[in-house]
Amino acid sequence: MSTSFSRIVQGCMGWGSWGHNLSASEMAKRIEFCASNGVTSFDHADIYGDYSTEETFGTALTESGVARERIQLISKCGIQYVGNARNNPIKHYQYDADYIIWSAERSIQLLQAEYLDLFLLHRPSPLLQPEEVVKAIETLLDSGKIRAFGVSNFTPSQTRLISKYVPVSVNQIEFSITNFKPMLEGDLDMMISKDITPMAWSPLGSVFKEDSEQTKRIHEVLEPLCKTYEATKDQLLLAWILAHPAGIHPVVGTATEERIAQAVASEKIQLEETDWFELWVASQGHKVP
């Protein structure tokens, strides 16, 4: 069963205790606002909020009154996080079939959903055994507990390895104007050729987090473009990603209604090709070859 995701995906990592620490009622309002403004896909991982954010979101989803079929729920598994919720002696990865199935079922229960629209392996493990993954994913797909399977932060070779055993529909990677390696190292090319949907976490990169020579150059280019396109800087950075032919879905981490609405509006911005390259040149610090 194929699943369509909204072009802007709402990242929920910062909605819980790892960020804005929203209450269930506050999350319910954000869910309603997102769904009413075309952001219908919500990105989770089991570890967010030290394994607590999914549960609050599940309560919020019920409180919101937004019908389950109106939205798409994404979650991830595999990272064994060192925190208060689990007695892990060291951060590591776990991908045996029983654990993958248990983790998916736990996320479904906490999110108060009958199924996940997309289930991802959070990060690649050197000890990952493809046979274990396929055993778990086939069980979850056959039972209807997940509707699609994907990976997160996998390289092209790692993705090809998994896709040899089970179809990969999505790879969620870090990609932005300041972290464009996937555009040069074959990640996006491979996803286009294999019909894999890219999702980009941290889509604004370091532009607003660091005061470096790179970010200064980017801001210098963005300022006049804001006037040209009547847009904010973050909208232009999202539009830069949206222009790529791979059909990337930015995963935005905002928790404010204003920023959510701005992200949605970025879908309407059509950057001129020369403006797209001007931003990329500013990020690289040199002209294209």
Q: Are 51 and 21 in contact (CB under 8 A)?
A: no
Beta bridge partners of 170: 150, 197
Give residue 257's identity as a one-letter amino acid code: E
Q: Judge whether 95 counts as a catalytic residue.
A: no
Domains of the chain: residue spans and CATH = 9-174 (3.20.20.100)
- Using the predicted structure, report yes or no on whether residue 2 has a pLDDT greater than 80: no
- Using the predicted structure, report yes or no on whether residue 184 has a pLDDT greater than 50: yes
Residue 65, pLDDT score: 93
Determine which one of 48, 51, 95, 229 is catalytic.
Answer: 48
Supply the DSSP string of 125-165, one letter for each residue: -TT--HHHHHHHHHHHHHTTSBS-EEEES--HHHHHHHHTT
Helix (H) / strand (E) element for 193: namely helix 187-193
Cα(2)–Cα(173) distance, integer angstroms? 21
Over the stretch 156-177, which tens digit does the pLDDT of each residue have? 999 999 999 999 999 999 999 9
- Using the predicted structure, report yes or no on whether residue 137 has a pLDDT greater than 50: yes
Which residue has 């892990």 as its token pair? Answer: 88
- Using the predicted structure, report yes or no on whether residue 1 has a pLDDT greater than 50: no
Residue 245, pLDDT score: 98
Beta bridge partners of 146: 116
Question: Residue range 193-214: average pLDDT?
Answer: 98
Cα(7)–Cα(203) distance, integer angstroms? 13
Cα(235)–Cα(32) distance, integer angstroms? 22
